[in-house]
Amino acid sequence: MTTASIKKRENIAEYLLYMWQIEDLIRAYRLDIDSIQTGIIDRYTSLSDAERSEMRGWYESLIDMMRRENVTEAGHLQLNRNVLGELQELHGRLLKNPKFAPYAAEYYNTLPFIVEIRAKAGENRKNELESCFDALYGILMLRLQGKEISEETTLAAKQISRFLGMLAGYYKKDYNNELDLEEE
């Protein structure tokens, strides 16, 4: 089972951030499968030839989708936008249901950070959840580059992570038909 499959099943928020990173990785390799083979796939020495072949096929299919969907320079694949849409839909249902007051409280604790993120985005405003994911992804990229993260940004990241973690937990329950959204 691939890392993406495991993340999708276990934590949809981590999956989405991982897939955004894969999109950027593919762009960094200029959508060149041979470069990806050498720079990424071949480094998994513990994988069998069949597993490496499967991984190559996965990257090839993502490259093909990126080309067909015209997201070779920027943007996200439709499959990732669909996940975000599913999360947005669940988010709305959870907020409307009084049984999920702790979720609503976590959202309202996160809202000041969301407002600030969206204000900084200016004309390029996205929905609230996408703004949260953008913020976490940006912080992830800064950390990978070894850049310093301010205390204020770290505080925001912790709150946003807590909120998205709660949403991801509800998503997993909903996916497994273990979430009762019926109002009493």
Report the domain count for the chain. Answer: 2
- Tell which residue, 153, 119, 111, has the closest CA to residue 136: 153
> Residue 25 contacts by C-beta under 8 Å, 6 or more apart in sequence?
36, 40
Residue 108 and residue 164 share a domain: yes
Q: How confident is the model at residue 7 (pLDDT cuts 50, 70, 90)?
A: confident
In a domain, 74, yes or no: no
Distance CA 23, CA 62 (A): 8
State whether 50 and 134 are in the same domain. no
In a domain, 131, yes or no: yes
Burial group, residue 124, by CB count within 10 angstroms (0-12, 13-18, 19+): exposed
- Domain membership of residue 182 (yes or no) is no
Contacts of 91 (CB under 8 A, 6+ apart): 107, 128, 129, 167
When pLDDT is cut at 50, 70 and 90, the band that residue 9 belongs to is confident
Q: What is the pLDDT of residue 123?
A: 59
Taking alpha carbons only, the member of 107, 109, 116 closest to residue 152 is 116
pTM of the model: 0.91
pLDDT, tens digit, for every residue of 34-70? 999 999 999 999 999 999 999 999 999 999 999 999 9
Q: Could you list the residue range(s) of the whole structural domain that residue 45 is in?
A: 3-68
Q: Are residues 50 and 102 in the same domain?
A: no
Residue 121 has pLDDT above 80, yes or no: no
Shared domain check, 62 and 98: no
pLDDT tens digits along 67-111: 999 999 999 999 999 999 999 999 999 999 999 999 999 999 999
22 and 51 co-located in one domain? yes
Q: Considering only CA atoms, which of 120, 108, 104 is closest in space to residue 153?
A: 120
Q: Are residues 101 and 171 in the same domain?
A: yes
Residue 135, token pair as written in the block: 């913020």
Of 29, 44, 68, the position where a domain reaches its end is 68
pLDDT tens-digit readout, 127-161 = 899 999 999 999 999 998 999 999 999 999 999 99
